[in-house]
Chains A and B, each alone.
Chain A
Amino acid sequence: MGQGTSAYDQSELAEFQDLTYFTKREVLHVHKRFAELAPEKVKQHGRNPTLTKEEILLLPELAANPFKERILEVFSDAGDGNMNFEQFLDMMSQLSSKAPLETKIDFAFKIYDFNEDGQICENDLQKVILFLVQPAVTGATLTSDERNQVIKNKSCRVSNKKEETVLTEKEISAIVRNVINEMDMDDDGSISYLDFKHGMSKLNGFEESFKVTL
């Protein structure tokens, strides 16, 4: 354990073990990964420093994810994406393979509910779709500003690409319609938490794919 043992003593580890889905060993591993993101900061501020969003996004496991900023926003207390180790641990715990399906569904709902109104509405869905196809269209994972730009242009069109590789606005709205058709149980035109939970619990492979393992 070496470094890990010095960071947290057994009782603290036991505490973390009780509070998260991790075992002690995993907690230490997560801490190691966390400390690697910003070694100086960790040195300066002791073991529970607050890292900025950008620093946390250095993590390769998150970097490739189009929803990475959203994940951090949802999980940081202030909603700005900065988090300290405990929050980070909490996040990783709920993203880990041991977290139950329900937790994951809750988490996913929060991520996809961009405007945080408790419903995934058409706008949210459009954003989700654009986020999903954006790496394919632009060929890169963008920063949030760039992404915002893409989202503004909605069709996600990049001029020199063939028609096949982009989604037209019409197509997007067709997809949105279809998703809502499939998921919306109460016919209110948007996906409520319940609809979402119901739909996700029978989704193929969601539990497997919705996890980040450090």
Chain B
Amino acid sequence: MADKNDGEDKDTASEKKGVHDEEEENITVQVVASGALSESDSDDGESPTHAVIRSQERTVSGGDIRLSSISPGAATPSDIPIQGVHFEDPERDPRILTEEDEIGDPATLLPSRTRHSSRRRRETRQEVRDTEEQPGPSQEGDVEMRPITGTFSRSRSSRRSLRDTLRAHSRRSVKRGPGESLNIMERRTLRREELNQMEQFEIKSLPFCTWLGYKISLSVSRSWQKFTESLKDFRIWGGHIREVEGNLGSGVSTYFRVLRWLLMINTLNLIVALSFITAPGLVIYYNHPEAQTVNVEYNADDKNCTNPDFFNETDTDYAEYGNILFQFLTGTGWMEKRPLYIGWYRSLNITSNNIKYRDSGCNITDDTYRCDTFKNALIENSDEREYDDKRFTNFEQLLNNFECDIQCPSTTQERSCNITCYKCGNYDCSEVNRNTAYYNLSGDAGMFDCYSPLGSEDTWGFADCQFPLINETNELGLKCSGCKREGVIYNFALAYVLVGLSYFVLSLLFIIKNMMKLFKKSAAEIVGYNPYSELVFGGWDYNIANKESAILKSKSILKSLKEELTCDDQKEKFVSTKEKVLLFLLRVFTNVLCIGAMGGVFYLYYEVYEKKEDSNPCSKEEESALTKLNYNEIIQSYGPALIVSASNVIFPIFFEVVGNVEMYQFQSTRINVTMARSFLMKLFSVVAYLYILYDTINSTQNDEDDPGKKVGWKYNCWENFIGSELYRLIIIDFAVFVVALLTTEWLRRLMVDHNRFIREKMGITEFNITKEVLDICYKQMIFWAALFFSPLVSVVAFIEIILMFYFKKISALRNVRPPEKVILNSSSSTIINIVFIISLLVVFVPIGFIIFTFKPSDKCGPFQNYDSFIEPVNAIIDKSGAFKDIILDNLKMTSVVVVIVVVTIIIIYFFYSLSSARQLTIQLLREQIKSENADKKFLIEQMKNVRNPNSSSSVIEDKIPDKRKEKKKKTSSNVGSYANPNLKNKI
């Protein structure tokens, strides 16, 4: 495409201008060869001539360069108006220059090129005279600014289509394009000119329809722009983050950015949870009182008292405020009867006494629950059913076979009765619930409506049914007619499990999206670390708006520079074998120590849990059920969570100490090792906690008693149990966070303020970004783990993050100093993203395992009738025929997990390879620059030798003086002028 393009460019241009020299070709080739510029934008509505002209104009107009693709043979030179079409040398556009120069422009210094360029310049001058509308006073002879103005003036004389102008405008070429190199006044003039021009176009010469079309598209694009811009204006916490940035530098603000980012993830989770779980849950709860009774029942008949959390349900407990608070904090008692946990939610098909029907041995497996087939089930398939051989002599009998309950008030004249029928669906007995039926015993057909939340399916059936009905074979039956599926039943179990999975998927997508952005932005980030230039050119944080921070920042730069210098020295330092061995042993020892410590903590968790188990809550019932707060109990219920949280505070400190002992050569290695250890520790503690919970609920006793049972759970509602344990962990964790904040930051600050010794020895706390970020990562892991078991944790998470943000911010502005060495700066968000992805996956493995393989408890929650949490999904897949045979077997259970993980890995890998591919390109281009520069030098040297064999002036000197003269013209507030100083000399 590019070849074609430049060929045509050349042709048309040379014919127009009558220029046929080789240099022309040279230049044109270069424009297109700069690759990035050419972009196919075929415009079918235009004549070929226009296309050609436009392609040239675009080349010149810089910022929004789009070389249009021209179909072969499209250019018909004779059509092209000579007047006003000038071939523009791309060199004069600063933007193109920079693009071009990226791959080096050796030709700029060639003598032939010089000649050529000067010719170009003459032409430019000519153009200046031709077109009067040169904005700004400093236009004359200023080559840098010409191309842009040229574009617009030419667009008037040439038959540039209005659409282009409009498009160019909607893309805001003035702003985004080469306008950058003009100062604001000049840009304004350009803009006004362009607008004027557009108006002229609009008034003149256009058919009304086209004009209208343009107008509409313009206004649409404008309002869209407005909308996106107003979105940009709205950035939560922007001011706060800026404040932190100004005071503590962008490093610390990273922490707050991560918090904001987590807030977004959790808001997403919150929205999903509230709208798809809690809101429908409440609707079901209030619309179906029978569900409510069950809700209480499942605890009431909990005679064995195996669940330690259900011991204090009696209403009298609520009266105790202390108790209420206690229960709120531990997430037990009345909290369990609130939508906080999974156990509170019901699926619609659950009734108080459905257990009875489960045991009655129904196992009809086809789709008999729909009303139309319902009829068939009785009449046509009658021989296969248990009621076949029976003659229904009376109505009661019929209904009995359908497991219907009839309640008829004997005195009612019109004999209205309530009929409730049950029959078997796919999985279980489900209910066909009839409101009121009218019938008379004489056998006349009665009509009644039935509405049926049929089984676990997704339809509501409404039916007018007639009964009793006697068919040809004199069977008595129930005939439903006019059955239609109306509305959509909310399949709560399905929604629940999908939402449960979507927390992970949404978060993952969110993180990946973020990573994509980063990968795109900094393809070369991973390779090529230039510590010195990073410190010198990127070291200063322009956000800093505070003197103390400025001094600290400067100190940190100074320190880092020194460190780099000493590092360089040390690289050559020889380390003896003995030292090496000693160091190795030391590090082996410290690593063993770390692992041992983690193991120790795990053991501690376990012990505490055992203790908790031992204290049987059943005995508490006699103790007037917690009328007083039992501190022992508080400790017991909080013990494990407290240990987990505390170990998460203590261990990073411990690792830091260990890291100091290990004598790492570079500070950055030490920090990285410490960070990696803390991260592993956090992952480990979450997984260990989940494992212990699993261990607690998974009792083998039940299995021994009843070997036939699939899985025995110790708790009637183990989901609630896990949910409440995790909820408690969240609460405790937050408490620990607050305490740590108060002591390590506020208290230390107070001590520093009042005690000179401490001030000099310790100073105020340094904000350890890595530690803090890992800390919130850990918190987020618990949120993720808890979400499935208690949907309202999303609310807790939402509130907690907001509180954390403000607590941390207030404390950060008062009590901490910025870190001396920023390891995690804002652009290492790639690392942060990876950390979060790993955490997400690590949490997902156990939770996914639970969702896909565990048997839900039978006494509570929307899944009590299912064999696994994923079963509603499987049921849907079963039902939809398309999937049924092909993928059904492959798409179930664990394979889903595998698929998700694999897809994620593929996506990440894709972006990673993309970035490495770019690095390869960069490498190549770099090589090219080098070789071309060598060429350049050689040629210049040659040239000089030819001109003046005696002088030996260096290359650099040659460039500078002219450049300075140029600079004196103050009009060049122009970036482009830097782009290629060589070129300017030659012009």
Question: 8 Å CB contacts to A: which residues of B537-574?
Answer: 537-547, 549-551, 553-555, 557-558, 561-562, 564-565, 568
Query: Would A209 and B540 count as touching, CB distance under 8 A?
Result: yes
Task: Return chain B residues, CB-CB under 8 Å to A110.
Answer: 975, 978
Task: Return chain B residues, CB-CB under 8 Å to A197.
Answer: 98, 102
B905 to chain A, nearest CB (A): 26
A28 to chain B, nearest CB (A): 11
For residue A37, CB closer than 8 A to chain B, the reply is: no
Query: Would B561 and A212 count as touching, CB distance under 8 A?
Result: no
Task: Return chain A residues, CB-CB under 8 Å to B955.
Answer: 188
Task: Return chain B residues, CB-CB under 8 Å to A207.
Answer: 521, 827
Task: Return chain B residues, CB-CB under 8 Å to A64.
Answer: 544-547, 549-550
Query: Would A211 and B542 count as touching, CB distance under 8 A?
Result: yes
For residue B188, CB closer than 8 A to chain A, the reply is: yes
Q: Could you tell me the dominant secondary structure of chain B's interface residues?
A: helix
Question: 8 Å CB contacts to B: which residues of A12-27?
Answer: 15, 17-21, 23, 25-26
Q: Which of A79, A102, A188, A205 contacts B970 (CB 8 A)?
A: A79
CB contact under 8 A between A139 and B528, given known A133-B558, A207-B827: no
For residue A54, CB closer than 8 A to chain B, the reply is: no
Query: Would A132 and B536 count as touching, CB distance under 8 A?
Result: yes
Q: Which of B185, B233, B250, B545 contacts A23 (CB 8 A)?
A: B233
For residue B929, CB closer than 8 A to chain A, the reply is: yes
Query: Would A183 and B533 count as touching, CB distance under 8 A?
Result: yes
Query: Would A25 and B825 count as touching, CB distance under 8 A?
Result: no
Query: Would A118 and B959 count as touching, CB distance under 8 A?
Result: yes
Interface residues of B, count at CB 8 A: 82
Q: Which of B230, B538, B545, B973 contacts A203 (CB 8 A)?
A: B538
Q: Which of B180, B191, B242 contacts A15 (CB 8 A)?
A: B191
CB contact under 8 A between A135 and B554, given known A15-B191, A193-B978: yes
When chains A and B are docked, how far (Å) is the Cα of A83 from the Cα of B533?
31
For residue A141, CB closer than 8 A to chain B, the reply is: yes
Query: Would B926 and A185 count as touching, CB distance under 8 A?
Result: yes
Query: Would B970 and A78 count as touching, CB distance under 8 A?
Result: yes
Query: Would B550 and A65 count as touching, CB distance under 8 A?
Result: yes
Residue picked from B533, B541, B549, B827, most chain A C-beta under 10 Å: B533
Query: Would A200 and B537 count as touching, CB distance under 8 A?
Result: yes
A169 to chain B, nearest CB (A): 13
Q: Which of A1-9, A38-46, A145-153, A171-179 contacts B (4 or more CB under 8 A)?
A: A171-179
For residue B826, CB closer than 8 A to chain A, the reply is: yes
A178 to chain B, nearest CB (A): 4
Task: Return chain B residues, CB-CB under 8 Å to A77.
Answer: 183, 970, 973
Task: Return chain A residues, CB-CB under 8 Å to B978.
Answer: 106, 109-110, 113, 118, 193
Q: Which of A117, A174, A178 contacts B964 (CB 8 A)?
A: A117
Contact-residue size bin, chain A (C-beta under 8 Å from the other chain) = 35 or more
A23 to chain B, nearest CB (A): 5
Q: Mark A190-214, 1 if CB is under 8 A from B, else 0.
A: 1011101111111111111111110
Query: Would B533 and A182 count as touching, CB distance under 8 A?
Result: yes
When chains A and B are docked, how far (Å) is the Cα of A87 from the Cα of B186?
11
Query: Would A18 and B191 count as touching, CB distance under 8 A?
Result: yes
Q: Which of A67, A86, A200, A203 contacts B184 (CB 8 A)?
A: A86
A140 to chain B, nearest CB (A): 7
* Residue ID in chain B nearest A61 by CB atoms: B545
Query: Would B562 and A209 count as touching, CB distance under 8 A?
Result: no
A119 to chain B, nearest CB (A): 7
For residue A81, CB closer than 8 A to chain B, the reply is: no
Q: Which of A20, A95, A117, A204 contacts B960 (CB 8 A)?
A: A117
Query: Would A132 and B542 count as touching, CB distance under 8 A?
Result: no
When chains A and B are docked, how far (Å) is the Cα of A134 from the Cα of B550?
10
B317 to chain A, nearest CB (A): 53
Query: Would A201 and B524 count as touching, CB distance under 8 A?
Result: yes
A164 to chain B, nearest CB (A): 7
* Residue ID in chain B nearest A102 by CB atoms: B98
Task: Return chain A residues, CB-CB under 8 Å to B825.
Answer: 204-205, 208-209
B145 to chain A, nearest CB (A): 14
* Residue ID in chain A nearest B249 by CB atoms: A209
When chains A and B are docked, how far (Å) is the Cα of A113 from the Cα of B565?
24
Query: Would A200 and B538 count as touching, CB distance under 8 A?
Result: yes
CB contact under 8 A between A208 and B933, given known A19-B188, A203-B530: no
Query: Would B561 and A175 count as touching, CB distance under 8 A?
Result: yes
CB contact under 8 A between A136 and B554, given known A19-B191, A20-B175: yes
For residue B384, CB closer than 8 A to chain A, the reply is: no
Query: Would A132 and B827 count as touching, CB distance under 8 A?
Result: no
Query: Would A140 and B183 count as touching, CB distance under 8 A?
Result: no
CB contact under 8 A between A167 and B964, given known A15-B191, A77-B973, A135-B551: no
Task: Return chain B residues, CB-CB under 8 Å to A196.
Answer: 537
Q: Which of B179, B539, B565, B922 contacts A171 (CB 8 A)?
A: B565
Q: Which of A102, A136, A205 contacts B250 (CB 8 A)?
A: A205
B819 to chain A, nearest CB (A): 14
For residue B979, CB closer than 8 A to chain A, the reply is: yes
Task: Return chain A residues, CB-CB under 8 Å to B545.
Answer: 60-61, 63-64
Query: Would A117 and B963 count as touching, CB distance under 8 A?
Result: yes
Query: Would B561 and A209 count as touching, CB distance under 8 A?
Result: no
Query: Would B956 and A66 count as touching, CB distance under 8 A?
Result: no
CB contact under 8 A between A186 and B979, given known A19-B174, A141-B550, A213-B543: no
Task: Return chain B residues, CB-CB under 8 Å to A118.
Answer: 959-960, 963, 977-978, 981
Interface positions of B (Cβ within 8 A of A): 98, 101-102, 172, 174-175, 179-180, 183-185, 187-188, 191, 229-230, 232-233, 242, 245-246, 250, 521-522, 524-525, 528-530, 532-534, 536-547, 549-551, 553-555, 557-558, 561-562, 564-565, 568, 825-828, 922, 926, 929-930, 933, 936, 955-956, 959-960, 963-964, 967, 970, 973, 975, 977-981
Among all A-B residue pairs, the 3 with the closest Cβ atoms: A136-B554, A202-B524, A186-B933
29 sample A-B contacts, Cβ–Cβ < 8 Å, listed by A number: A18-B172, A25-B233, A66-B540, A67-B540, A77-B973, A103-B180, A108-B537, A132-B557, A133-B554, A136-B554, A167-B558, A167-B561, A167-B562, A171-B562, A175-B532, A175-B561, A178-B532, A179-B533, A182-B533, A183-B530, A185-B926, A186-B930, A187-B930, A188-B933, A188-B956, A206-B827, A207-B521, A208-B825, A209-B541
Q: Told that A64-B549, A203-B530, A210-B538 touch, could you supply 9 new A-B pairs with CB distance under 8 A?
A: A23-B230, A87-B184, A90-B183, A132-B540, A136-B551, A136-B554, A187-B933, A204-B529, A204-B538
Interface positions of A (Cβ within 8 A of B): 15, 17-21, 23, 25-26, 60-61, 63-67, 75, 77-79, 86-87, 89-90, 94-95, 98, 102-103, 106-110, 112-113, 116-119, 125, 128-129, 132-137, 139-141, 164-165, 167, 171, 174-175, 178-179, 181-183, 185-190, 192-194, 196-213
